[in-house]
Amino acid sequence: MNQIPSPCVGVCQINSKTKFCLGCWRTLREVAHWSRYSGTEKLAVLDSIKQRQSDAGMDRRRVTRRQQRQKRGYYG
């Protein structure tokens, strides 16, 4: 199986209420064990992340600052 990249986005902070990372939505255990997981396990974690985001009413893709500025009319 091809290398499955980590979902880490460099925002490593655990939400004390949900116990998920604010950046990648993984648990501490999933973060710590990612490099040892098989491809199948990694895909299962990625599916779990999608479900967590859906359950929370969140979309993985955030609105970028550029998109916010475009909405405000800063860019032609």
Domain extent listing, the chain: 10-76
pTM of the shown model = 0.72
pLDDT band at 19 (very low <50, low <70, confident <90, very high): very high
> How many residues in total does the chain contain?
76
- Give the number of other CB atoms < 10 A from CB of residue 7: 18
Q: Which residue has the tokens 């990249």?
A: 5
Q: Single out the residue of 41, 51, 44, 43 nearest to residue 18, CA to CA.
A: 51
| Of residues 1 and 71, more confidently modeled | 71
Q: Which phi and psi angles does 25 have, rounded to 5°?
A: 70, 20
- Give the number of other CB atoms < 10 A from CB of residue 20: 20
Could you tell me the two tokens for 19? Answer: 């116990």
The pLDDT of residue 13 is above 70: yes
